Amino acid sequence: MTNWLSTWPSRHRLSIMFWAINALIVLALLIFALR
């Protein structure tokens, strides 16, 4: 994981983190709504 991330510039790593957090938020929201 660390090696793979090391091949990305910092601005892309921020984007990856942002979209990963968004994906988790949407997943949590769906789990909440579908219970």
Partner 1 sequence: MQTPIAMNPRFLIVIYLCVVLLPLGLSYFSGRPSRSFWDELASGAGLLAFAILLLEFLLSGRFQTVSARVGMDVTMRFHQLVARTALVLALLHPFLYRSPFNPPYPWDVTRQLTLAYDISGLLTGILAWVLLATLVALGIGRSQLVYRYETWRLMHGVGALLVAGLVLQHALDTGRYSQDPALAYLWIGLFLMAVFSLAYVYVIKPIWQTQRPWTVRSVRSLGLRTWELTLEPDGHQGLAYDAGQFIWLNVGNSPFSLFENPFSISTAPASGPHLQFVIKELGDFTRTVGQITPGTRAYVDGPHGNLVVSDHAEPGIALIAGGVGIAPLMGILRQLRHEKDERPTMLIYGNRVQEQIAYREELTAIAEDQRIEVVHVLSEPPEGWTGRNGLVDADLIRAIFDSTPMKQWLFVLCGPAAMMEVVEDALIDIGVPSHQIESERFQYD
Q: Which residues bind partner 1 (CB under 8 A)?
A: 2-3, 5-11, 13-14, 17-18, 21-22, 24-25, 28-35
Cα-based distances in Å from 5 to 14, 22, 30: 11, 18, 28
In the bound complex, what is the minimum distance in angstroms from residue 35's beta carbon to partner 1? 5
Residues 6+ apart with CB under 8 A from 16: 5, 8
Q: How far is the CB of 2 from partner 1 (least distance, A)?
A: 8
Q: How far is the CB of 5 from partner 1 (least distance, A)?
A: 7
> Which single residue is written with the structure tokens 């988790």?
24
